[in-house]
């Protein structure tokens, strides 16, 4: 995500935070002025608690499907605000329902709770030294993608909106999701859903039925408080690629007596690059095919029987995803056949393309600008993937990015998923404002239709 937003990040500058409606707000059809101003004020009031929550969650990260402590903090907080709360949704998910004082539609706000199997390399006083089991192996754990910030922002948003519950013209559903990064308790090979799909299957968008959903992702690729968005396709689909190349084992001094899966695998890695460069029209949207692991052999002078590889495929749009996946499989099988080897190819479609509903973006963009004084910019396509896409396949969705890097650290900021990833807590208040205003004004606008 960092590289995809870097051009944007270098082109923009910081704008000071605002606690009251900016002078130009009347030009963008804001929500009720007095109510919006109170929302901004309440966001300021709760930000210190949001910072404490984030740092506590950061110090105690939990991997996908193991977020029991985090879920407990969330559930207790929502209950304390008087909400209807359901726990254990999917696995460890939490859903809170805030019914407004007036009848109306239902809007959902979503945050993901899970951390990553990464050993933290910061010197923060609240750095993680947690270890958990990850797919059968004890691993260090860190909130290296900012999900701790997502949880804290949504907890604070819940507090802001609960404080104006009587004025809400509908219902707000708070979805705290497990395992966005994938399950930690089993190796996913497509056999059962995780994360957003698991939440949806468990009824997170039902009872009451959601009409629209909003979410955000913090990024080190933009300065603190800056918001970046995109209408339509925004983040790539993701397919996991597994390739086994099967030859016949022989002495490395006599390769002609066997079939070499190592050399064949090398040819496959090179050949796969032509799927993007020569077989896919990338003028409208990028595509990526990358091999991340290659494993085979046990000794320097033995050609092994088998080599195992894995990688990722990123595309934009279901049709493109299908075509690229088919061409990857064809390329692998034909190269192997030419070498006299056999292959087993498995492509698992994990995440769909995240598509922001164009009508919803157009409708809510003026409101989003109130959150940070108009410091909102259009983002380029992002080849990272997000399972928020699953919600957006069910109901209109709008997913945007929030910068959390101090302006003077932009050139050296570690990217998301780095052991040195850093969140500037000053950016949390912008996220609280944004989600609070989006939910409130979506409900208001729906009543006027």
Q: Would you say 336 and 342 are in contact if contact means Cβ atoms under 8 Å apart?
A: yes
Which residues, at least 6 apart from 338, have a Cβ–Cβ distance to it below 8 Å? Answer: none
**Residue 319 main-chain phi, psi, to 5 deg:** -65, -45
Q: Would you say 214 and 440 are in contact if contact means Cβ atoms under 8 Å apart?
A: no
Q: Of 62, 114, 260, 387, which one is the catalytic site residue?
A: 114
Q: Is 114 a catalytic residue?
A: yes
Query: Among all chains, which residue has been given the structure tokens 């910081």?
Result: 14
Angstrom distance (rounded) from CA 136 to CA 184: 8
Q: Is 180 a catalytic residue?
A: yes
| Residue 133: exposure state from Cβ atoms within 10 A (0-12, 13-18, ≥19) | middle
Mapped onto helix, strand or coil, the DSSP state of residue 124 is: coil
- Give the CA radius of gyration of the chain: 24
Angstrom distance (rounded) from CA 320 to CA 383: 14
Query: Among all chains, which residue has been given the structure tokens 């109170």?
Result: 38
Q: Of 180, 181, 424, 441, which one is the catalytic site residue?
A: 180
Angstrom distance (rounded) from CA 235 to CA 11: 21
Angstrom distance (rounded) from CA 172 to CA 97: 6
DSSP 8-class letter at 298: S
Could you give the residue numbers annotated as active site? 114, 180
């Amino acid at each position: 995500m960092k590289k995809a937003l870097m051009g944007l990040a270098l082109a923009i500058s910081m704008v000071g935070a605002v606690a009251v409606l900016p002078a130009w707000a009347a030009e963008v059809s804001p929500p009720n002025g007095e109510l919006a101003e109170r929302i901004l004020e309440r966001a300021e009031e709760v930000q210190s608690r949001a910072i404490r929550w984030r740092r506590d969650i950061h110090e105690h990260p939990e991997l996908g499907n193991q977020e029991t402590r985090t879920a407990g903090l969330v559930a207790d907080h929502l209950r304390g605000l008087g909400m209807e709360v359901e726990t254990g949704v999917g696995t460890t998910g939490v859903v809170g329902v805030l019914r407004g004082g007036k009848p109306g539609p239902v809007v959902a706000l979503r945050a993901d709770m899970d951390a990553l199997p990464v050993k933290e390399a910061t010197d923060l006083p609240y750095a993680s030294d947690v270890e958990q089991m990850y797919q059968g192996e004890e691993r260090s754990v860190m909130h290296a993608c900012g999900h701790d910030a997502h949880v804290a922002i949504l907890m604070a948003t819940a507090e802001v909106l609960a404080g104006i519950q009587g004025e809400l013209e509908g219902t707000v559903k708070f979805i705290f999701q497990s395992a966005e990064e994938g399950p930690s308790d089993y190796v996913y090979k497509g056999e059962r859903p995780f994360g957003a799909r698991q939440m949806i299957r468990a009824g997170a968008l039902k009872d009451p039925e959601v009409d629209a959903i909003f979410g955000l992702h913090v990024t080190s690729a933009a300065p603190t408080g800056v918001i970046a968005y995109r209408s339509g396709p925004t983040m790539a689909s993701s397919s996991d690629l597994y390739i086994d190349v099967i030859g016949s084992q022989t002495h490395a001094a006599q390769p002609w007596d066997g079939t070499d899966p190592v050399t064949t695998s090398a040819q496959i890695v090179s050949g796969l690059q032509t799927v993007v460069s020569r077989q896919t029209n990338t003028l409208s949207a990028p595509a990526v095919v990358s091999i991340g692991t290659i494993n085979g052999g046990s000794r320097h002078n033995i050609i092994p029987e088998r080599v195992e590889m894995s990688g990722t495929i990123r595309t934009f749009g279901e049709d493109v995803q299908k075509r690229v996946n088919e061409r990857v499989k064809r390329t692998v099988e034909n190269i192997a056949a030419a070498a006299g080897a056999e292959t087993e190819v498995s492509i698992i479609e994990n995440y769909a393309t995240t598509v922001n509903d164009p009508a919803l973006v157009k409708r809510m963009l003026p409101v989003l600008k109130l959150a940070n004084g108009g410091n909102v910019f259009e983002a380029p396509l992002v080849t990272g993937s997000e399972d928020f896409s699953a919600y957006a396949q069910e109901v209109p969705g709008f997913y945007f990015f929030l910068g959390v890097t101090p302006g003077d650290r932009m050139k050296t900021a570690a990217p998301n998923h780095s052991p040195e990833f850093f969140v500037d807590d000053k950016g949390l208040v912008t996220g609280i404002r944004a989600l609070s205003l989006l939910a409130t004004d979506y409900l208001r606008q729906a009543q006027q239709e």
